[in-house]
Chains A and B, each alone.
Chain A
């Protein structure tokens, strides 16, 4: 059974803090993704990675960075959190090719 885990289900941070969201998958997948989900806007891709140390910007990368030092782990970093980054963050992984994406349970981040 594929499992994608995220470090926290709920997180509350203050404006200006550096925030780390961690994602781990156990299926040796090449591709990993970070999305944010906001009501009425669907899933929007922030960054993705198709190999260790490789990353590509998604549709809304501003204010975010990522790190992938190991194949199973993909981190999303908010260098200086702002209130407009309050959202649900979903991590996903997939094998090479147009494979199905497996999603983690999500982290609901609130920035006050």
Chain B
């Protein structure tokens, strides 16, 4: 079953912040985040492993709450280059590294 991402779409002005959520009904081993720009392949952003760690990548960070089976991606002081579709991919234990992706969140950053 695909994880649920929210919101489905968000429009920002440059410099604003956004949060994208990813929620699963299964116990999770890890959560991956990817960004796909229009007409391009998805590109890896970060992995969060079981243990409640938080990771950062420039002004993009994420958290993973394994008890709630949820992850959130935080984009601060958004830039035009952040525009794209963001996908979370979840890995459940014993899945042989198989990821199940959400349907994506379309982020548009306007000047």
User: Hey, which bits of chain A sit against chain B, CB under 8 A?
Assistant: 31, 33, 35, 40-45, 48, 50, 56, 58-59, 90, 94, 96-106
Q: List 13 A-B contacts (CB under 8 A).
A: A33-B99, A35-B101, A41-B103, A43-B87, A44-B2, A44-B101, A45-B99, A48-B97, A50-B96, A98-B91, A98-B97, A101-B34, A105-B41
Residue of A nearest to B2 (CB): A42
Q: Give the 10 A-B CB pairs with smallest separation, nearest first.
A: A103-B41, A100-B44, A42-B103, A43-B101, A98-B30, A42-B101, A42-B104, A103-B42, A50-B96, A105-B41
User: A-B contact count, CB below 8 Å?
Assistant: 62
Within the complex, the shortest CB–CB distance from B19 to chain A, in Å, comes to 19
Whether A48 pairs with B98 at a CB distance below 8 angstroms is yes
Q: List the B side residues contacting A105 at CB < 8 Å.
A: 40-41
Contact partner, A106, options B32, B41, B100, Cβ 8 Å: B41
Q: List the A side residues contacting B91 at CB < 8 Å.
A: 98
Q: List the B side residues contacting A100 at CB < 8 Å.
A: 32, 44, 47
Q: List the B side residues contacting A90 at CB < 8 Å.
A: 41-42
Q: List the A side residues contacting B49 at CB < 8 Å.
A: 98
Q: A45-B101, A50-B97, A101-B44 are in contact. List 16 more A-B contacts (CB 8 A).
A: A42-B103, A42-B104, A43-B42, A48-B96, A48-B97, A59-B100, A97-B97, A98-B32, A100-B47, A101-B32, A101-B89, A101-B99, A103-B42, A104-B41, A105-B40, A106-B41
Residue B84 is within 8 A (CB to CB) of chain A in the complex: no
Q: List the A side residues contacting B32 at CB < 8 Å.
A: 98, 100-101
Within 8 A of A (CB), among B82-111: 87, 89, 91, 96-104
Whether A98 pairs with B100 at a CB distance below 8 angstroms is no
Given A40-B103, A43-B87 in contact, is the A98-B42 Cβ separation under 8 Å?
no
Q: List the A side residues contacting B41 at CB < 8 Å.
A: 90, 103-106
Docked pose: A102 CA to B29 CA in angstroms: 20
Docked pose: A97 CA to B87 CA in angstroms: 20
Whether A31 pairs with B104 at a CB distance below 8 angstroms is no
- Taking each of A43, A99, A106, which has the highest tally of chain B beta carbons within 10 Å of its own beta carbon? A43
